[in-house]
Structure 1
């Protein structure tokens, strides 16, 4: 490997001082450099294939220009890959890099992402926790003590030591349910996972808010066999495809849906808590005049339910990046709530034509 090109090499080639080279390459404000001198320095740097020493820049700026992202998620799932892309897109706009970190506890009882921050490898952390659970109490203590710029995404918790970005699940559920209930269906089937989480409770609250104005509609609740214990098996379908365990779970899920829908009649409606859940029953329902709807659609299918709330996952990633950059700049922590107002009509195509 050849000798690394230095500022001195560029200065010699351009016939200027190393200070002038530094001013030009770092675009230092307040320095008057003649245009022809600037071009000579830049040309010499190009010809010598100069690569800046990022470590030296970090020491001077006391910034790594890198953000750590803890993603305890299956990134093959569209929702999470869309969020990460939003984070990456925003960071790229301002010259930041993204480093995927883990939540694994390492030396000194510190999590991997906290070690990355304390060692100066990242300027802050965006946290997408497993099962939407935030950082541990031990980690929060370090975050607060060391003033770590930290953003927790979709953990639905109050915090003073760091910023949060969450969705208004209750408002989104209420908005969608109001659309579904407008024709006054006699029965409404609500499909939810067997998971007790703040997000699920908020969705039920939004549904209840809408049902208060529709006393003539009977609510039927179906809990499908999707739990925290088998959630990884469910999500593996997006990354490695079919597995015996996944096939068994999918079959059990579809069977439960078909049995529940079997008792519905024309004019009734179905709302599913998660994206893609009405797929096993969608066409059967449409043939029978039953409306299908989903509370958390991510656009991963070309065939949509009749109505759905599209989660702004990319925008959520951008919001996480913006919140973290604000903390890195020394601004106070905040709680951002993203409202779910984008209700899509899946029975109509992109230009409004019927597709069924």
Structure 2
């Protein structure tokens, strides 16, 4: 079996000491070496296929080149998978590993940071879940490089960076799009789930209606509660039951709306509700416009009556990666707000 080339192998071929080889291969070394020696050592290392031992380098430099991302929602959900993908790609470009973490308390991951197994953390929030107090305290007291994603703007000065979405701006822009298209009646399909995003969207929609007095809005509850949400995340049968019930709720609500179908729109708060809404009989048969404040799996290029205010999820992951690297370098704390993008056919 072929053995892995070592520093000693390079030293023997180059006629120098092992320490000289180490200095020649280390870009951060301040030891003076001649240009010829450095070039010869690197050429031989390349010729024999020497690969640095990243674990040994990490132990010497006291850095793991690994960032932990704390995600407490299933990665089977496209929203969180896309955020992770964006962060992973951005970190990989810098040869930094991304480790997915799941413990909501964050306590064990602080031990990993303190022992050098993690260089920093990104916390991915959802609904009304905030970053654990222990994690925030570690950023303040211990200098933990930390980025908090989708938890809202922090109150006052904080010792970490944040990435958020402009939920209000997305709702305002989409309502303007409906008004321009001549819509007069909007059915707002939304869950009964505690959510900062929903509160921001509701406020923006109320302000938008004041600017467009011809528009009327009626809320249609999906019937989804916090408890139900936890159930359907892990139960395919519960998902099918929920989607069938939602289609019936939308059909019943549309039956009570008077006027031309071209003046009616169904506005979904959640992208995951788009597919069952599009499958409802009255929406399908009438060609009613469906809009959503977060993207779902259906494409507007295939469904002409569909509009999305698309959250830039992959960009949010990439921004979180950029900011945590900035935190690692001792840079300024930043608070980034990303605008949704209106997705048309």
- Segments of 4+ in structure 1 off by > 6 A? 1-4
Equivalent of 1:119 in 105, 115, 118: 115
Deviation at 1:5, TM superposition (A): 5.0
2:39 equivalent in structure 1: 38
| TM-score, normalisation: structure 2 | 0.87
Equivalent of 1:243 in 215, 236, 242: 236
Deviation at 1:37, TM superposition (A): 6.1
Deviation at 1:125, TM superposition (A): 0.3
Task: Write the deviation string for residues 137-175 of structure 1: whole angstroms up to 9, x where unpaired.
Answer: 233223311111111111124151321110000001000
Instruction: Quote the Cα distance in structure 2 between the aligned partners of 1:147 and 1:59.
Output: 20
1:18 equivalent in structure 2: 18
Instruction: Quote the Cα distance in structure 1 between the aligned partners of 2:254 and 2:168.
Output: 25
Alignment gaps of 5+ in structure 1: 237-241, 349-356
1:344 equivalent in structure 2: 343
Query: Matched residue of 1:94: which SS?
Result: coil
1:96 equivalent in structure 2: 96
2:207 equivalent in structure 1: 209
Task: Write the deviation string for residues 73-124 of structure 1: whole angstroms up to 9, x where unpaired.
Answer: 211222211111110111111111111223255xxxx612211111111111
Deviation at 1:2, TM superposition (A): 8.9
1:200 equivalent in structure 2: 198
Query: Matched residue of 2:271: which SS?
Result: coil
1:168 equivalent in structure 2: 166
Alignment gaps of 5+ in structure 2: none
Query: Matched residue of 2:176: which SS?
Result: helix
2:286 equivalent in structure 1: 288
Mapped pair 1:301 → 2:294: no
Instruction: Quote the Cα distance in structure 1 between the aligned partners of 2:226 and 2:272.
Output: 18
Instruction: Quote the Cα distance in structure 1 between the aligned partners of 2:164 and 2:38.
Output: 51
Instruction: Quote the Cα distance in structure 1 between the aligned partners of 2:86 and 2:323.
Output: 13
Query: Matched residue of 2:294: which SS?
Result: strand
2:268 equivalent in structure 1: 272
1:354 equivalent in structure 2: none
1:262 equivalent in structure 2: 255
Stretch deviating more after TM superposition (84-93 or 184-193)? 184-193
Instruction: Quote the Cα distance in structure 1 between the aligned partners of 2:211 and 2:287.
Output: 23
Contact 2:289–2:306, Cα closer than 8 Å, also in 1 = yes
Stretch deviating more after TM superposition (1-10 or 82-91)? 1-10
Contact 1:10–1:45, Cα closer than 8 Å, also in 2 = no
**Across the two proteins, how many residue pairs are aligned to each other?**
334
| TM-score, normalisation: structure 1 | 0.84
Instruction: Quote the Cα distance in structure 2 between the aligned partners of 1:84 and 1:144.
Output: 25
Contact 1:254–1:280, Cα closer than 8 Å, also in 2 = yes
Query: Matched residue of 2:291: which SS?
Result: strand
Task: Write the deviation string for residues 249-284 of structure 1: whole angstroms up to 9, x where unpaired.
Answer: 222222222222233342111111011423234364
